[in-house]
Structure 1
Amino acid sequence: MKKILALLLVLCMTLSLAACGGKKEEPATTESVKETEEVTEEPAEESAEAKTIKVGVAIYKFDDNFMTVYREELQRYFEEDMSKDGVTYEVTVVDGKNDQAEQTNQIQNFIASGVDVIVANLVQSSAAASVINLCKDADIPVVFINREPTADDLALWDKVAYVGADARQSGTFQGEIINETPNKGDFNGDGKINYVMVVGDPENVDAKYRTEFSIKAVTDSGMQVEKLVEQRGDWDQAKGQEIVAQALTQYGKDVEVVFCNNDAMALGAYQAIEAAGRKVGEDIYLVGVDALDEAVAYVNEGKMTGTVLNDANGQSHKAAEVAALVVNGEAIEKNYTVDYVKVIKK
Structure 2
Amino acid sequence: MKRLRKGIFLFFFIVWTAFPLYGCAPMEQKKDVGESATSEAGTEGVPEETGPKIGVSIYRYDDTFMKLYRQELKQYLEETYHAEVIMRNAGGDQKEQDKQVNQFISDGCDGIIVNPVEIPAAQELADACSRAGIPLVFINREPKEEEQKRWREKQMAVSCVGTDSRQAGTYQGEIILETLNKGDFNGDGVVSYVMLMGEKGNEDSQYRTEYSIKALEEGGMKTEELFSGNGNWNKDEGKKLAKQALASWGNRIEVFFCNNDSMANGALEAVEEAGRIPGKDIYLVGVDALQDTVTYIKEGRMTGTVLNDHEGQSQMAADTLKKMIDGESVETRYQVDYIKVTAISTFQTLKGED
TM value normalised by structure 2? 0.81
Aligned 8 A contact 1:132 1:156 in 2: no
Question: Which structure has the higher relative contact order (CA within 8 Å, separation 6+)?
Answer: 2
Aligned residue for 1:266, secondary structure, equals: helix
- 1:23 aligns with none
CA distance in 2, matches of 1:279, 1:50: 56
- 2:67 aligns with 68
- 1:156 aligns with 150
Task: Describe how 1:307-322 pairs up with structure 2 within 5 A.
Answer: 307-322=305-320
Task: Describe how 1:303-342 pairs up with structure 2 within 5 A.
Answer: 303-342=301-340
Q: Cα deviations across residues 201-230 of structure 1 (Å, max 9, x unaligned)?
A: 132221111111101000001111111112
Aligned residue pairs, count: 297
Q: Cα deviations across residues 282-326 of structure 1 (Å, max 9, x unaligned)?
A: 111000000011100001111110000111111111110001001
What is the alpha-carbon root mean square deviation over aligned residues?
1.5
Q: CA deviation at 1:50?
A: 5.4
- 1:138 aligns with 132
Aligned 8 A contact 1:119 1:143 in 2: yes
Which amino acid is the alignment partner of residue 241 of structure 2?
A: I
Which amino acid is the alignment partner of residue 106 of structure 1?
A: Q
Which consecutive residues of structure 1, in runs of 5 or more, have no partner in the other structure?
1-42
Q: CA deviation at 1:52?
A: 3.0
- Bigger radius of gyration among the two: 1
Which of 187, 208, 211 is residue 210 of structure 1 equivalent to? 208
- 1:249 aligns with 247
Which consecutive residues of structure 2, in runs of 5 or more, have no partner in the other structure?
1-44, 348-354
- 1:219 aligns with 217
TM value normalised by structure 1? 0.83
| Structure 1 position 126 matched with structure 2 position 125 | no
- Structure with the higher fraction of residues in helix conformation: 1
CA distance in 1, matches of 2:179, 2:254: 12
Aligned 8 A contact 1:53 1:90 in 2: yes
CA distance in 1, matches of 2:120, 2:251: 39
CA distance in 1, matches of 2:280, 2:49: 61
Which of 167, 170, 173 is residue 168 of structure 2 equivalent to? 170
Q: CA deviation at 1:97?
A: 0.7
- 1:106 aligns with 100
- 1:277 aligns with 275
Aligned residue for 1:155, secondary structure, equals: helix
Q: CA deviation at 1:264?
A: 0.5
Aligned residue for 2:281, secondary structure, equals: coil
| Structure 1 position 193 matched with structure 2 position 187 | no
Aligned identity (percent) is 50
| Structure 1 position 234 matched with structure 2 position 232 | yes
CA distance in 1, matches of 2:228, 2:147: 29
